[in-house]
Amino acid sequence: MKIVKDLLLALINATLLLAAVCLFFLWQISNTVERASGAFAENLQVLKPVTSELKSLKTEVSALRGDLQAIASNSEDFTSEKAQQLQGRISTIQNRLDDMQKNVHGVMSKAQAAPEHLVEVAVTKATTDLSNMMFDLRGCTRPES
């Protein structure tokens, strides 16, 4: 009877230890998810000034184009050939700004539309890191896939 009692006690102890280890790992994963979501929110806040700066640059280029047309019509030094060259350069800058703005809007819309995807990626990375750490602790190698 004493052997059965000792076996049951050992089983309870092992179960409690396993539960404690699982809780520790869940705590580590939740910390990783919190850090990832916090970093993601910070990155979104960083992009907002960039979009406003792009809008102001676009406005400046439009104003520059208007000023250039005014100078070209009033100045005798300023040839129409030079004006055409500058217009081409401004158009190139405008196109690049438009492309940058589209890219920023695309990134922001993807990020705002799918935060659950980012959390999923963070959890996947955390569990992969955790499993690698467990394999390192055990001294085992990862099974070949």
What pLDDT does 65 receive?
Answer: 77
What pLDDT does 144 receive?
Answer: 67
pLDDT tens digit sequence for 22-45: 899 888 888 887 887 777 777 667
Instruction: Measure the CA–CA gap between 141 and 135, rounded to whole angstroms.
Output: 6
pTM of the model: 0.39
Average pLDDT of the segment spanning 94-119: 71
| Of 32 and 130, the one with more pLDDT | 32
3-state secondary structure of 76: coil
Going by pLDDT thresholds of 50, 70 and 90, the confidence category of residue 20 is: very high
Q: Copy the structure tokens of residue 120.
A: 């999923």
C-alpha 110 chain-centroid distance: 10
What pLDDT does 89 receive?
Answer: 76
Q: Is the pLDDT at 84 greater than 90, yes or no?
A: no
Instruction: Measure the CA–CA gap between 115 and 37, rounded to whole angstroms.
Output: 9
Q: Is the pLDDT at 142 greater than 70, yes or no?
A: no
Instruction: Measure the CA–CA gap between 48 and 101, rounded to whole angstroms.
Output: 11
3-state secondary structure of 1: coil
Give the residue extent of every domain in the chain.
2-121
